[in-house]
Structure 1
Amino acid sequence: MPAMLLDREEYVEQAHFFRVLRERLADNSPVQEVLAGLREEILATTRLPMAIDFLLGELQLKGHLGNGMARLGHYFAPFQTFIISSAEDEGARLDFAIALRILEREAHFRASPPVNLAALFIYQFECLARNRLGYDFGMVAISEDPAYPPVWKTWISRVRFELGTAEFADLVYAQSEQYVEDVRRQRRDPDYQPTTTMLFDANAGRIARANIGKDPLYMFAALQRQLGYPVVPRFLSNKTGPVLHPQTEMRLQRMEARMALIEQEQRGGLDITKFYQPGQPDQKPWNSEPEQAP
């Protein structure tokens, strides 16, 4: 059964579900216990508790959440299922915590109608691009989202095949109201009308035009700054903190010092006099002959 648009309260509870699941998994809680607990927390007037029951059964049977979400295609959107399945893949580049954060932010964005379809599409596309999830199956999942009308679905399907030959910024600009204004000005024809429906407004079109020939990530950042498009969660590594535990680092330093002494001894260049304490008389080596009594 194809996915359907849900009520606002469903997306609010979905955002809570993905957030709490991510936070409790970070505390090393078993996922089965987390799902069982969330089953009681979620608002009972929504359909999410029943979906959690089904996911818990599929998890116990097959060990993956993505399989259960795929079978609940009437409730979870294909993009949600694609993100979770990509994170659960054995060779996944997408961290599972980031995947849950992506879906949490998307559900939160959907819970504030009217949904800006241009912002939603850019958010989903950036998730594919930034996490290197591939455009083939990813774009198919996006095009099957129930939020998009037929004109959007047709354009997304066409973009899927044009990405290898055209820049993404150029494709967005060509489908914007700014493109129509530029054509009218160039042709000096104020009555010019495009043959297709423009999907992006003039503001998004100007930003796309300014980023043609640049990294698409620059365009995404500009849309987020200027137009308030949702920001895609990213994994931030803590490079400022210590790499090793302090005690482990001290032990490694001692081992390096001992190895240096062993190498000096093997080369015959070990001088033990530098280990004498200051103020003490010279000490004889341990293997020297004892002094004879007079």
Structure 2
Amino acid sequence: MPVLDREEYIEQAYFFHAFRERVLDGLPSQDVLSRISEELLSTTRLPLAVSYLATEIKTIGLMAPAMVRIGHYFTPFQTHVIAEAEHDTSRFPMDQALLILEREARYKADGPTLSGLFVYQFEAMSRNRLGYGKGLEAIAADPFFTEDWHDYILLLRARLGDVDFADLIFVRSAFYVTEQKRRNPGFEPKFPILFGEKEGKIARANRGRDPLYLFSALQRQLNYPEVPRPRRPDEAEARIALLEQRVALLENRLKSAESDIHNEIDLAQLRVKPEDTAGPPAGWGKHEPT
């Protein structure tokens, strides 16, 4: 698939943002997709793509399969992120997925560097545990990346875990070539150089450290796009729910104590409700012939 026009990425960023906000407000995804296409710029292809998503989600309840079918518009990375959020057993929330895609689309609209785009997608994949195998394949298929980048990204599948990620950036940087030429003026790199001098310096400074420190340094020093952090569980809500349970338990105990004092027994508390049982016993209400 070719790289889309800038206006397409601008509209995509708006679409993912508006979609996320309305889903967080409690609106059904089907309703959001059915209406939001009217807000999008009609000179782009996004309204048609969203209309197709709206039709498919009403049929199968998922967006990712529909995004695969229109792979000439949505990238494999976008499809992979949505698919991971739609898994039944996934802990990756849809609003997080939409926020990742919103920032990616905005970065593409602003004219990304290939190194910045790769690091953003890789960090999003690693932070949210979206799977390195399929994830790297999806990243490599992004139309922004050249053939050299495509080969490099697929190479990472075999090297990750054995080689430090910072080293994988450092040895493909212009800074690495400069360092080698100081020692050997005739040095020529065996592989294409994909990262600049500054990326190489930052990568060397973070060798042997947590890759998250590397990502953070690249964002601070080179204005790489920031990947949204996974949300932490809201401890306040959990504590409130626990307090409500304890208050309800105390109320029941107080009622029981008051009834004991007044020698009053609430038969409703002792009555077994049908919904609390597995159902009436077999043959209940039937009399055997004598």
Given the two structures, how large is their TM-score scaled by the length of structure 1?
0.82
SS across alignment from 2:238:
coil
How far is 1:93 from its partner? 2.6
Contact 1:93–1:131 (CA under 8 A) maintained in structure 2: no
TM-superposed deviation, 1:254:
7.0
How far off its partner does 1:92 sit?
A: 1.2
Residue 39, structure 1, aligned to residue 34, structure 2: no
C-alpha RMSD of matched pairs (Å): 2.4
**Structure 2 vs 1, CA of residues 215 and 257 (structure 1 numbering), >3 Å: closer, same or farther?**
same
Corresponding residue of 2:175: 178
The match for 2:21 among 23, 42, 46 is 23
Residue in structure 2 matching 1:190, options 185, 188, 191: 185
Q: Gaps spanning 5+ residues in structure 2: where?
A: 264-290
Q: CA-to-partner distance for each residue in 1:237-281, whole Å, 9 max, x for gaps?
A: 3657453448x7367247359769x9xx9xxxxxxxxxxxxxxxx
Displacement of 1:48 after TM fit?
0.4
Match of 1:67 in 2: 65
Please state how far the C-alpha of 1:202 moved relative to its aligned partner.
0.9
Q: Is the 8 A contact 1:139 1:157 kept in 2?
A: yes
Counterpart for residue 194 of structure 2: 199
Contact 1:93 1:132 in 2 (8 A): no
Q: Which residue of 1 aligns with 2:221?
A: 226
Question: 1:131 — aligned with what?
Answer: 128
CA contact (8 A) 2:173 2:193 kept: yes
1:39-58 mapped onto 2 (5 Å cutoff) = 39-58=37-56
Unaligned runs of 5+ in 1: 266-284, 288-294
Distance, in Å, in 2 between the alignment partners of 1:153 and 1:26 is: 36
1:211 Cα shift? 1.0
| TM-score, length-scaled by structure 2 | 0.83
Counterpart residue number, 1:153? 150
Aligned partner letter, 1:176: S
Aligned to 2:288: none
Give the SS at the match of 1:190.
Answer: coil
Distance 1:161 1:139 in 2: 11
TM-aligned CA distance change 1:64 to 1:242, over 3 Å: closer
> What's the secondary structure of 1:70's corresponding residue?
helix
- 1:194 is paired with a residue of what secondary structure? coil
Aligned-partner Cα distance in 2 for 1:258–1:14: 54
Q: Provide the residue aligned with 1:105 in structure 2.
A: 103
> What is the CA–CA distance in structure 1 between the aligned matches of 2:233 and 2:83, rounded to whole Å?
27
Distance 1:117 1:251, change over 3 A: closer
Which of residues 135, 140, 144 in structure 1 aligns to 2:141?
144
Q: 1:257 to 1:33 in 2, by over 3 A?
A: closer
How many residues are aligned here?
Answer: 260
Residues in 1 aligned to 2:231 and 2:30: alpha-carbon distance in whole angstroms: 28
Equivalent-residue separation in structure 2 for 1:127 and 1:173 (angstroms): 20
Q: 1:238 to 1:93 in 2, by over 3 A?
A: closer
Report the structure number with the largest CA radius of gyration. 1
Q: Deviations over 1:20-52 (max 9, x none)?
A: 000001111121211121110000000001101
Does residue 89 of structure 1 match 2:87?
yes
Q: Using the alignment, how far apart are the partners of 1:250 and 1:77 within structure 2? A: 46
Shift of 1:164: 2.5
Q: Which amino acid aligns with 1:92?
A: S
